[in-house]
A = this chain, B = another copy of it.
Amino acid sequence: MQTKDYKDEFKQKGLKNTKQRAAILEILQESDRPITAEQVYNELKEKNVPVNLSTIYRNFLFLCEKELVNKLALTGESSTFYEINRMVHRHYLVCLGCKKVLAIDDCPLESYEELLAEETNFVITGHKLDIFGYCADCQKKDLNEQHNKNS
């Protein structure tokens, strides 16, 4: 996978281009789903990039401030997740069976947000939508398993 070099973004945003920072951002880029500080830590260990957990947290902080990274909470998870900010508004369709994540291109919420803003007097700045279900493959698997159980 090709990973982007953030050297220019760093300079522009007043961040130094350190080995750790670049490595953290590379891990985030390579991941197709949000990950935790711990997971980044372990991946860097495997790559023999020396880094401390606190450095990862501190970088998450800076990178979120600079909007290169997004921070998100997932229901049922005790840790915070982080993902690279791909600068496109996207939603995800997550298969609860195989954990496959599908990106959805269109967003059904724009007109709804206007309506909601009127009703509540909020200024609406964003939203987060994840949709869950079972993909075609996992539906088949489920059917097979149920069949086996009953036979």
Contacts and interface: CB of A to CB of B under 8 A. Distances in A.
Contacts of A108: 108-109, 112
Contacts of A134: 122-123, 125
Contact of A123 (B73, B75, B120, B133): B133
Interface residues of A, number: 38
Given A102-B120, A121-B136, A124-B133, 17 more contacts: A73-B73, A73-B74, A73-B77, A93-B116, A93-B120, A109-B129, A113-B131, A117-B133, A120-B135, A121-B135, A125-B133, A125-B134, A126-B132, A127-B131, A127-B132, A128-B130, A128-B132
Interface of A: 71-78, 80, 93, 95-96, 102, 104, 108-109, 112-113, 116-117, 120-136, 139
